[in-house]
Structure 1
């Protein structure tokens, strides 16, 4: 360890600096100190510009997607297709088929299937009125004598 220090000291003593070398080194260090805040600001601004450009690109893509959707909604065929899909609308004279897949049949079944369509006749107004009457006339249960005696205790 001592040998290392002696070598370093010998090396430092062997260096010869001229006045010009000192001026250049001091000028370079001073220039770096003067320019470092400006360089930092420049790098930060470039980063912000990059982020803003990315934001603008994303917003342009969103606007293009909205414009494309708006153009679709101007097409009567698209509007008609959406009304059929979303609202289950049908044109006059058409019959709508609703498929309910709530029953899972085994792979091998002995049941016969029919190619004929069946139509279920149902009076929804009567069913609604019956449901309202049943809900309105439901009488709450009165507690039995045993339950009343327990609650008094």
Structure 2
């Protein structure tokens, strides 16, 4: 009959074997994790590049269609009439300058035609600003509103 010590030794061997297996699995994960991360990153880069290539191919197709349109003389004539306002000899061209309705034109705000007198002399304000900026050591964020000076009117 096996003694209790032999039974404990058998259990110990099983736990050592389990510990070694867990260690190998952990070492494998540690070794393979950067490689798997790199693989996933490369796959996402490849997917992004394929999407970019597909977008560029669609752009090339649309540009080829545009070039094909310019081979048609009727399209060229329509573009010349529309963009450059060309007409055939004997035709009369009309250009509409203001296409707003009369209601929209009448409701546009008209600025007042009166002149307003300034409350301060601009020359003295500019001179005092120049002097203050040259003589101060404070930064620009510390300046508030300019000081009010009494000027004779």
Aligned length: 93
Are residues 1:67 and 2:64 paired? yes
Q: Aligned to 1:87, which of 84, 87, 90? A: 84
How well do the aligned residues superpose, as a CA RMSD in angstroms? Answer: 2.3
Cα distance, 1:76 vs structure 2: 0.7
Equivalent position SS for 1:68? helix
Runs of 4 or more above 6 Å deviation: none
| In structure 1, distance between residues paired with 2:52 and 2:99 | 46
| In structure 2, distance between residues paired with 1:76 and 1:103 | 33
Q: Name stretches of at least 5 consecutive residues in structure 1 with no aligned partner.
A: 1-14, 108-153
Q: Aligned to 1:97, which of 85, 94, 99? A: 94
Q: Name stretches of at least 5 consecutive residues in structure 2 with no aligned partner.
A: 1-10, 105-153
| In structure 1, distance between residues paired with 2:26 and 2:52 | 39
TM-score by length of 1: 0.54
Match of 2:4 in 1: none
TM-score by length of 2: 0.54
